[in-house]
Structure 1
Amino acid sequence: MFAMMEDSRLEALHFAQDPATGLKAVIAIHNTRFGPALGGCRYLAYPDEQSAIRDAIGLAQSMSYKAALAGLEQGGGKAVIVRPAHVANRGALFEAFGRMIESLGGRYITAVDSGTSSADMDCIAQHTRHVTSTTREGDPSPHTAMGVFAGIRATALARLGSDDLNGLRVAIQGLGHVGYALAEQLHAVGAELWVSDLDGGRVQLAVEQLGAHPVSRDALLATPCDILAPCGLGGILNAETVPGLRCAAVAGAANTQLADADVGDSLQARGILYAPDYVINAGGLIYVALRHRGESLTTITAHLSKISQRLAEIYAHAQADRRSPARVADSLAERLLYGS
C-alpha cells in the first residue's frame, strides 16, 4: 500500500467503516499545495478492496493535476464508498460518510461522482460543511459538458484545421448526464453523432431527439469518425483497443481514459490527437470549486474558457517536442505541483 502511495506521491490515505450503516469508505488525498483536496465520491461495487483503493489513489492524482492545470486554489482528492449488496438506509450511510469527512478537519471536500447524487451530498452536508454539489448548489454535469464541448472545438482546430463543428462526425461512448448534455450541444451546431450506452433507453432517446446513429458498445471504438468522445468509465483506451481506432482525435469526458502512459504514446504514433482527460473534463471541478467558494455563475463560465486555452498550449508543446499531449500535460502539472 505504501508503495502505491509513493508511486503516485499521495499525501494521505484514510479508511473508515460503520457496521451499523454498511459504510466502507476510502479517502485519498493526493496533494494540498494549492488548497484543500477536492474530489468526487464514488459509490460503486468493486471486485475487491484493493481495486477500490487503487481507484481512489489514481483518481486523486488526476484531480491534483486537473486542479493545477485549471488554475484552481484546490488540491486533489477522491473518495470511494464500496457499495454493499444490500443497504437498509442509504441516507444513514452517507450521513456516516459525512462524519468521516468532518473528522479530517477540512483537508478534503467531497462532491458528486459515479453512483452518487446531489441528494446524497445533502445527507453528507448534515454533518460537515466540506461538501459541494448539494441540491442547493446544483449538478456540475452541465458545466463538465460545456468544458468538453469547448475542448472538442480546440481539438478540432488543432487536428483538423477548423473549430467549425458543423458536419463533424463524433462518436460518443456513454450517454450519462455529461455524455447526453455533450451530445445535445454537438447536435445544436450540426455535428453528426454515433452513440452507444449500456442503457438502451438513453440510446433510443438520442436517436429520436438528436438524430444520432446507434452503435453497439463493442463496435463504437472502431466507428470511422473525426472525434471519439469517451464519456463513460475509464480505461477504455488500452493496448487492445487503440489499434482498432478509426478517428482523428480522442476528446471526451471520462476520467482515466488511458490504461497507462504508454497508450498515449501509441495514439501519438498513430497520428491520433489525444485531449488529456483531466484537462478537457475540468469543467465540473471548476464549477464545484468556485461554487463552494461563493463565486457567481458569470465568473465560473469565464473560468471555463481556460480549458480550451490550456489544451491549445498542450497541443503546441506536444507538436514542438514531438511528445504525446498526455506526457506534456503530466509534465506541466508536475512542474506546478512539485516545481520539477
Structure 2
Amino acid sequence: MFALMQSSNVETLHFIVDPETGLKAVIAIHNSKKGPALGGCRYLAYVDEESAIEDAIRLAQNMSYKAVLAGLPFGGGKAVIMRPAHVPNRAALFESFGRFIETLDGRYITAVDSGTSSADMDCIAQRTQHVTSTTEAGDPSPHTAMGVFAGIRTTALARLGSDNLEGLRVAIQGLGHVGYALAEQLHAAGAELLVSDLDSGKVQLAMEQLGAHPIACEALLSTPCDILAPCGLGAILNSHSVAQLRCAAVAGAANNQLSSLQVADHLENRGILYAPDYVINSGGLIYVALQHQGEALGTITAHLSRIGLRLTEVFAHAQAEKRSPARVADMLAERLLNVG
C-alpha cells in the first residue's frame, strides 16, 4: 500500500468502518496544493480490500490531473465504498459516510460516481456540506458528455483532418448516463454509431432512437471504426486489446482507460491517437466544481469549451516530441501541480 501511495504521490488515505450500517470505505486525497480535494464516490463490489484501495489511489491521482489541466482551484481525491452483499438501509449507510467526510474538515468534497446517485448524495448532505451532485445541484453526466463530444471533434481534426463528424463511424462501449448522452450528440452530428452494453435494453433503445448498430461486447474493440469511445469502467486498454483495435483514435468518457502507461506507447506505435481520459472527460468535474462555487451555467459552459483547447495543446506537444499524448498530459499536469 505504501509503495503504491509513494508511486502515485498520494498525500493521505482515510479509512472508515461502521458495522451498524455495513459501511467500509476509503478516501484517497492525492493533492491539495490548489485547493480541497474533489472527486466522486464509487459504490461497487470489490473482490478484496486491496483492489478497492488501489482503485481509490489511482482515481485520486486521475482527479488531480483532471482538475489542474481544467484550470480548477481544486485538488484531486476519490472515495470508494465497498458495496456489501446485503444492505439493510442504504440511506443510513450514506449518511454514515457523510459523517465520515465531515471529520475531514473540508479537505475532501464528494460527488456522484459509478454506483452512486444524486439520491445518495442527498443522504450524505444530511451530515456534511462537503458534497455536490445532489438532486438540487443536478446531474453532471450531460456536461461530461458535452466535453467528450467536443473532445471527439478535436481528436477527429487532429487525426483525420476534419472535425466534421458526418458519416464518421464511432464505436461506443457503454451506454450509461454519459455514454448514451454522448451517443445522442454524435447522432445529431451525423455520426454512424456502433454500440455495445451489457444491458441489452440500452442497446435496443439506441437502435430505436439513434439508428445505432449493435455490436457484441466482446467484438466491439476489433470492429473497424474511425473512433473508439470507451464509456464504461476503466482498464479496457491493455496490450492484448490494443493489438485488436481497428480504429484511428480512442476518445471516450471512461476513467483510467489504460491498464498501464506502457499501453499508451503501444497505441502510439500503432498510429492510434489517444485522447487522455482525464482531459477529455473533465466536463463533469468542471460542472460540479463550478456549481459548488455558485457559478452561473453560462460560466460553466464557457469553461467546458476549453477542453478542446487543452486537447489541442496536448496533441501538438505529443506530435512535436514524438511521444504519446498520455505521457505528455501527465507531464503537463505534474508541472502545473508543482507550480506555486
TM bin, normalised by shorter chain, reads over 0.9
SS at match of 1:147: helix
Q: Distance in 1 between matches of 2:112 and 2:256?
A: 17
**Shift, 1:24, TM fit:** 0.2
SS at match of 2:240: coil
Match of 1:127 in 2: 127
Match of 2:108 in 1: 108
Q: Distance in 2 between matches of 1:226 and 1:339?
A: 38
Counterpart of 1:144, as a letter, is: T
User: Is there any run of 5+ residues in structure 1 with no aligned partner, and where?
Assistant: none
SS at match of 1:136: coil
Q: Distance in 2 between matches of 1:189 and 1:320?
A: 31
Q: Distance in 2 between matches of 1:192 and 1:81?
A: 38
1:267-315 per-position Cα deviation (integer Å, ceiling 9, x unaligned): 0000000000000000000000000000010000000011000000000
Matches for 1:90-239 after TM superposition, within 5 Å: 90-239=90-239
User: Is there any run of 5+ residues in structure 2 with no aligned partner, and where?
Assistant: none
Q: Distance in 2 between matches of 1:318 and 1:18?
A: 47
Match of 2:39 in 1: 39
Q: Distance in 2 between matches of 1:2 and 1:235?
A: 22
Query: TM-score w.r.t. structure 2 length?
Result: 0.99
> Are positions 1:323 and 2:323 aligned together?
yes
Q: Distance in 2 between matches of 1:133 and 1:25?
A: 19
Match of 1:287 in 2: 287
Identical residues among aligned pairs (%): 78
**Shift, 1:2, TM fit:** 1.4
Match of 1:48 in 2: 48
Match of 1:27 in 2: 27
**Shift, 1:339, TM fit:** 4.2
1:255-277 per-position Cα deviation (integer Å, ceiling 9, x unaligned): 00000000000000000000000
Matches for 1:268-307 after TM superposition, within 5 Å: 268-307=268-307
Match of 2:251 in 1: 251
Query: TM-score w.r.t. structure 1 length?
Result: 0.99
Match of 1:263 in 2: 263
> Are positions 1:62 and 2:62 aligned together?
yes
Deviates more, 1:2-11 or 1:149-158: 2-11
Match of 1:85 in 2: 85
Counterpart of 1:127, as a letter, is: R
1:113-167 per-position Cα deviation (integer Å, ceiling 9, x unaligned): 0000000000000010000000000000000000000000000000000000010
Counterpart of 2:284, as a letter, is: G
Q: Distance in 1 between matches of 2:336 and 2:312?
A: 18
Q: Distance in 1 between matches of 2:330 and 2:339?
A: 13
SS at match of 1:193: strand
Q: Distance in 1 between matches of 2:258 and 2:306?
A: 23
SS at match of 2:164: coil
SS at match of 2:136: coil
Q: Distance in 2 between matches of 1:2 and 1:323?
A: 30
